[in-house]
């Protein structure tokens, strides 16, 4: 059996952990997922041996991450992979020496919600044996620890090998999942400061499309209102395009900045209205905006049934309110 997965990866891994009977070994660069952490704790509760090699990285030990001291207290064996040797970048686990799960997927919120990832699950003995051999090579290099750090926000700057953009994205995803205060680490040349952010994201502007009210006048049709709580999906808006101006019809997405209209994106509608001679075509538009600044616009021609999807990311479209 060999099976590849590209979506809902956490959901595919957990049943294998839940079915473990004797032994689970894990080598993981980054690990912040509460669900996968709890699955390992549950294994220990069933007297399944669990051994983990974890990268020595601030993301794994900050206060928003699982407390791996609890893993140790529950009977787990923890090795911390110091990057001074070589950067331990593995993402695999072997269950009962019968199944290996491997791929690009770190056991993090970031990997689950933002990245394009993959895993391969295999029960091929030759492959499993190679992963067990590699795991034992790791455990021979990195000592077992009896405790691990819990890093205060202000001490994160002491850690090397930190990608602050990635760390901030991870903090954002954990905070959303757990309904915790949003925090962002701001690094200067001399210091690290912590910025507290309110947890209520809303649309910063009216967001809509440019429309021709008649053959000469141009207007703006709001679709997402300013202050809309995110995530927000608009109602369907209906517009019409007429035969005489159809050759150059475009969807122009704008945000209303009061003193001006800011261009977000524009796309021609040729692909969804081509080859129609109707005097009038009906166009329906729906927008979705989420906290990460991802805006998705779906534009559908009713007569052709074709859909144009426009995707863009712009954090300027989002603000936070108390």
Give the residue, 56 or 53, on which the prediction is more confident.
53
28 and 163 part of one domain: no
Q: Where are the alpha helices (DSSP H) in 46-124?
A: 58-61, 68-73, 109-113
Distance CA 36, CA 107 (A): 7
Range of the domain at 16: 2-151
Residues 186 and 224 in one domain: no
| CATH number for position 133 | 3.30.870.10
Of the residues 134, 151, 168, which one is the last residue of a structural domain? 151
Please tell me the pTM assigned to this model. 0.57
CB 70 within 8 A of CB 3: no
172 shares a domain with 110: no
235 with 311, same domain: the answer is yes
Q: Are residues 100 and 210 in the same domain?
A: no
In a shared domain, residues 190 and 211: no
CATH for 225: 2.60.34.10
> Is 271:300 a contact under the CB 8 Å cutoff?
no
> Reduced to 3 states, what is the DSSP secondary structure of residue 258?
coil
- What is the number of domains present in the chain? 3
| Residue among 138, 105, 88 nearest 33 (CA) | 105
How many whole angstroms separate alpha carbon 97 and alpha carbon 183? 40
pLDDT at 82 over 90: no
| Least confident range of 96-110, 134-148, 151-165 | 151-165
**Out of 77-86, 114-123, 207-216, 232-241, which region has the weakest mean confidence (pLDDT)?**
207-216
253 and 193 fall within a common domain? no
């Amino acid at each position: 059996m060999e099976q590849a997965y590209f979506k809902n990866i956490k959901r595919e891994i957990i049943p294998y952990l839940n079915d473990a009977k004797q032994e689970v070994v894990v080598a993981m660069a980054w690990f912040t997922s509460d669900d996968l952490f709890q699955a390992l704790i549950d294994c220990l509760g069933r007297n399944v041996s669990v051994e983990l090699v974890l990268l020595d990285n601030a993301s794994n030990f900050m206060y928003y991450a699982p407390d791996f001291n609890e893993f140790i207290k529950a009977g787990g064996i923890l090795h911390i992979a110091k990057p001074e040797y070589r950067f331990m970048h593995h993402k695999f686990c072997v269950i009962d020496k019968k199944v290996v799960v491997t791929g690009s997927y770190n056991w993090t919120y970031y990997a689950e919600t933002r990245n394009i990832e993959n895993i391969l699950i295999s029960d091929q003995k030759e492959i499993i044996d190679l992963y067990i051999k590699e795991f034992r090579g790791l455990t021979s290099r990195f000592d077992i620890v009896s405790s691990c750090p819990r890093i205060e926000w202000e001490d994160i700057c002491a850690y090397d090998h930190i990608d602050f953009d990635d760390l901030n994205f991870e903090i954002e995803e954990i905070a959303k999942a757990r309904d915790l205060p949003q925090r962002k680490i701001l690094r200067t040349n001399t210091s690290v400061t912590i910025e507290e952010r309110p947890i209520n994201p809303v649309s910063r502007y009216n967001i809509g499309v440019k429309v021709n009210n008649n053959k000469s006048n141009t207007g703006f049709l709001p679709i997402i209102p300013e202050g809309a709580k995110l995530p927000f999906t608009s109602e369907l808006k209906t517009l019409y395009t007429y035969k005489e101006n159809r050759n150059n019809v475009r969807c122009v997405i704008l945000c209303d900045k009061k003193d001006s209209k800011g261009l977000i994106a524009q796309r021609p509608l040729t692909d969804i209205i081509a080859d129609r001679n109707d005097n009038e075509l009906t166009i329906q538009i729906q927008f979705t905006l989420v906290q990460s600044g991802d805006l998705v616009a779906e534009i559908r021609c009713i007569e052709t049934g074709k859909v144009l999807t426009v995707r863009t990311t712009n954090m300027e479209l989002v603000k936070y309110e108390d």
